[in-house]
Amino acid sequence: MKITFLLHDAYTAGVAVRNTTSLATALAARHEVEIVSLYRTADRMPFAVAEEVTVRAMVDLRPASPHYAGTIVDQWLPGAVCPYDTAYTGPTPPSRLGEDRLAAHLRDTDADVVVATQPHAVCFLAEHGRADHLRIGQEYRAHASHRAPLRRELEAAIARLDAYVSFSRAAARAHRAALPHAPVRLTSIPVCSPVPGAEPSTGNSKVVLAAGRLLPAEGYDRFLEAFAKVAKVHPDWSLRIHGRGGEQQRLRHRVEELGLHDHVLVMGTPAPTDAEWAKGAIAVVSGSGADLSGISLVEAMSWGLPVVSTDSGHAPRELITPGQNGLLVPDHGPLQDTLADELRHLIENEAARRRMAGTARRTAERFRPELIAAQYEALFTDRATARAAAGKRSSRNAGGGARWRRRVRLLVSRLGPAQLAPSLPTVACRVTTDGSLVFALPPRHLGPGAWSLTLRPRDPERAEPIQLPVERDTAEGARSLHVTLDKRVCELAEGDWDVLLARCDGRASRPVRAGLIETAHLLEPAHQLSSWREGIKTWIPYPTPNGTLALRAWHRPAHAEVVTCAVENETLRLTGQLLGWRARAHHYRFQARLRGAPERVFETSCQVDQDGRFGVDVPFSPVAGHHPGREAVWELLLRAYGGGPEVRLGMVTGDLVDHRHLRQFPVAGYAGPDGELLFRPRLTREHDLVLAAETAAADRPHDLRLRP
């Protein structure tokens, strides 16, 4: 049969898009499947979908596209269907143009089944879907969470469909109670969670991952307050919050207020991508009563993380068996204290944490796309049979015609883009346990002759390009060719390196598109031990803003890594770790040097223990005494006694290419002899820690700790 999924914007990351792409890929193994997106806002979809699945957009909103529809008058006029849907307040509200084109598509489509995934699409399908379609709706939000006008519109639309699918059994029961006489099948089918496409979590990191929508209802304030209690007992653990929403900036301010800037990162990205889940040892998920899908819970389990969730909403109660695959925290009373206790329990009991992680992976097996696709196939068959029994026109059997259309469409999809413009080859990159890199690329991107992966320094004065030959003889019939950049034998100068696919004869080269990037091993104790012995020699693969693959190389045989940065009693207090035996071979004094005027120097003592842990207190008073009367930047370093090396203070360890937009540093006001100054620690482009000083505004009170 032919199955069509309706999405609002298939090019924006979200639960509906993630679930639909996984389900469509699974169904495409046996059926003809298409995804119809009301809007197209990006060149690529955020989640991979099988090439057998057709993806089409009704309205192209990419300004650089030749099909850009943003200047058409009807695109500026609001749509008429389901006006109370929150999509109308989003960045791409339904428009008259989009609705006209989608209505025409539904009139002309030869689909047997149409599945609508969001309220506007559900109402639109009920109003414009043809009688010979099986019309299926999906509910990603709790029915009771919608405002009354939208609930009424949805209830009227649901009654006109053939089936309506919720993602939890309790939600389906709630719908049946709300619509007891509706002539529609109200059922539940869980979300999909594909088999991890990369190494799952080893559980060796000391990272807690939180995922969800950053909205007031999700209660992330409580998570932060709970982790503040955890950090006091386990300062070597950190929390990363993934998600987008209106609370992002306020949460960053709250991190600063709680003094958690050394322990918490608000990542500013959607829910963790596949490779990000692998970096955690524990997952914390808000069990919002409005979210029915539980997709973050399932994905965390799939990657081998025990989950701690608030006991609210249907999904956590149906997915988590307390003490087996995770823990439930009552969503009432002293939640912060209880959540902190449960996190400490998992942190302090490694055996229990690993046992729950194994059970969590087994729990996730129930949600594999092929199993969920089979449940949808059973639903389609049941509804078609019910239609036939009721004397209605049944859905068509696509048979050989559908198979022929699929073959022709697949051929066109493969030949058409190649005739218009060669697509960039996609290369995945994985960091191994010893810090080496393994690149994987499909053989089909290689033409005749010898090829290499070329690493080209962005600053050509720092180093020469490095060529890594692509060996094809040993991978006959393999899906991917593998090229290794061995950390034991290769050296990369510090800086950014672009990855290109090149002919060895030098006749052609082109950038490669970033595929799956795995950097979880950079957070593990083994890598940290290597840095303690040898200094910093880290290679971090990353996607550039235009989607190509690049590397960031750090190379510092002697380095002072800053771990904490605090302001106390008119003093900047820094603690950290000397990395590399060359760094630990000396005794040091701390030095602050004015950039552009190296003769202006302030020095103070630096305490270093036998393991290389250091601490230094930088009083603001002498620095203020050297202030030049304008904005100034003080470089911070450790200077060895007896003519030894200068070691820059910085933050370069871990898996992050750029910490600057994530790190929250305390800002302090100081009443100096010539007026108030503001002191602000920050990272340079090279990730050296510096202290910026500037004259404060006259109306700003001094001696206050301020937020950035």
Q: Where does 52-147 have alpha helices with state H?
A: 96-108, 119-128
pLDDT at residue number 538 = 94
Most confident of 183-187, 566-570, 626-630, 685-689: 685-689
In-domain check, residue 702: no
Which residue range forms the structural domain that includes residue 472?
A: 426-555
Q: Which residues, 6 or more positions from 528, have their beta carbon under 8 angstroms from its beta carbon? A: 653
Angle at 284 between CA 278 and CA 285, to 5 degrees: 105
Q: How many domains does the chain have?
A: 4
Residue 505 has pLDDT above 80, yes or no: no
Pair (678, 551) in one structural domain: no
CA–CA separation, 250 and 259 (whole Å): 14
pLDDT at residue number 700 = 46
Banded pLDDT at 401 (limits 50, 70, 90): very low
pLDDT at residue number 53 = 96
Pair (524, 605) in one structural domain: no
pLDDT at residue number 688 = 96
Q: Which residues, 6 or more positions from 83, have their beta carbon under 8 angstroms from its beta carbon? A: none
Pair (590, 675) in one structural domain: yes
In-domain check, residue 196: no
Residue at token pair 């206050």: 704
The reported pTM is 0.85
Pair (515, 486) in one structural domain: yes
pLDDT for 607-663, tens place per residue? 999 999 999 999 998 888 888 877 899 999 999 998 778 999 999 999 999 988 888
pLDDT at residue number 168 = 83
**φ/ψ of residue 557, rounded to 5:** -60, -30
pLDDT for 23-34, tens place per residue? 999 999 999 999
Pair (107, 164) in one structural domain: yes
Four-residue CA torsion sign, 66, 69, 70, 72: positive
Using alpha carbons, select from 36, 45, 37 the residue that is nearest to residue 12.
45
pLDDT for 91-118, tens place per residue? 999 999 999 999 999 999 999 999 999 9
Residue 409 has pLDDT above 60, yes or no: no
Query: First CA to last CA across the chain, in angstroms?
Result: 57
Pair (534, 564) in one structural domain: no
Strand partners, 469: 452
More confident residue, 361 or 631: 361
Pair (499, 519) in one structural domain: yes
Structure tokens at 419: 């005739």
Average pLDDT of 218-233? 90
Average pLDDT of 35-50? 93
**φ/ψ of residue 428, rounded to 5:** -90, 160
Q: Where is average pLDDT lowest: 60-64, 179-183, 287-291, 540-544?
A: 287-291
CATH number, domain with residue 309: 3.40.50.2000
Q: DSSP letter string over 631-665?
A: -EEEEEEEEETTS--EEEEE---SS-S--TTT---
pLDDT for 665-677, tens place per residue? 888 888 867 778 8
pLDDT at residue number 527 = 82
In-domain check, residue 181: yes
pLDDT at residue number 414 = 38
Structure tokens at 652: 């370069």
pLDDT at residue number 704 = 42
Residue 564 has pLDDT above 80, yes or no: yes
Average pLDDT of 299-314? 89
Residue 705 has pLDDT above 50, yes or no: no
CA–CA separation, 517 and 431 (whole Å): 8
Average pLDDT of 199-226? 86
More confident residue, 347 or 671: 347
In-domain check, residue 402: no
**φ/ψ of residue 101, rounded to 5:** -70, -40
pLDDT at residue number 413 = 44
Residue 703 has pLDDT above 70, yes or no: no
Using alpha carbons, select from 422, 612, 454 the residue that is nearest to residue 535.
612
Residue 228 has pLDDT above 90, yes or no: yes
CA–CA separation, 384 and 113 (whole Å): 10
CATH number, domain with residue 501: 2.60.40
Q: Where is average pLDDT lowest: 371-375, 393-397, 703-707?
A: 703-707
β-pairing, 326-330 vs 307-311, is parallel
Q: Please say whether the beta carbons of 453 and 470 come within 8 A.
A: yes
Whole-angstrom CA distances from 467 to 444, 489, 505, 509 are 20, 14, 12, 12
The alpha carbon of residue 191 and the mean position of all alpha carbons in its chain are separated, in whole angstroms, by: 19
Pair (549, 569) in one structural domain: no
Residue 132, CB-side half-sphere exposure with 13 Å CA sphere: 13
pLDDT at residue number 143 = 73
Provide the angle, in degrees to the nearest 10, between the axes of the packed helices 369-389 and 15-27.
80
In-domain check, residue 433: yes
In-domain check, residue 399: no
Average pLDDT of 191-207? 91
CA–CA separation, 672 and 360 (whole Å): 57
Residue 58 has pLDDT above 50, yes or no: yes
Average pLDDT of 120-134? 94
Q: Of 188, 222, 249, which residue sits at a domain end?
A: 188
Average pLDDT of 421-445? 85
Pair (21, 62) in one structural domain: yes
CA–CA separation, 464 and 491 (whole Å): 11
**φ/ψ of residue 119, rounded to 5:** -50, -50
pLDDT at residue number 285 = 85
In-domain check, residue 383: no
pLDDT at residue number 237 = 96
pLDDT at residue number 423 = 65
Average pLDDT of 458-468? 93
Q: Of 188, 217, 235, which residue sits at a domain end?
A: 188
Pair (15, 109) in one structural domain: yes
Q: Of 533, 555, 577, which residue sits at a domain end?
A: 555
In-domain check, residue 61: yes
pLDDT at residue number 407 = 42
pLDDT at residue number 408 = 38
pLDDT at residue number 415 = 34
Average pLDDT of 544-558? 94
The alpha carbon of residue 644 and the mean position of all alpha carbons in its chain are separated, in whole angstroms, by: 43
Pair (604, 529) in one structural domain: no
Q: Where is average pLDDT lowest: 307-321, 395-409, 448-462, 478-492?
A: 395-409
pLDDT at residue number 417 = 32
**Above pLDDT 70, what percent of the chain?**
91
Q: Which residues, 6 or more positions from 404, have their beta carbon under 8 angstroms from its beta carbon? A: none
pLDDT for 70-97, tens place per residue? 999 999 999 999 999 989 998 999 999 9
Nearest 10 degrees: CA dihedral of 558, 562, 567, 573? -40
Residue 398 has pLDDT above 50, yes or no: no
Pair (521, 569) in one structural domain: no
pLDDT at residue number 508 = 74
CA–CA separation, 537 and 492 (whole Å): 9
When the pLDDT of each residue in the chain is averaged and rounded to a whole number, the result is 87
pLDDT at residue number 222 = 87
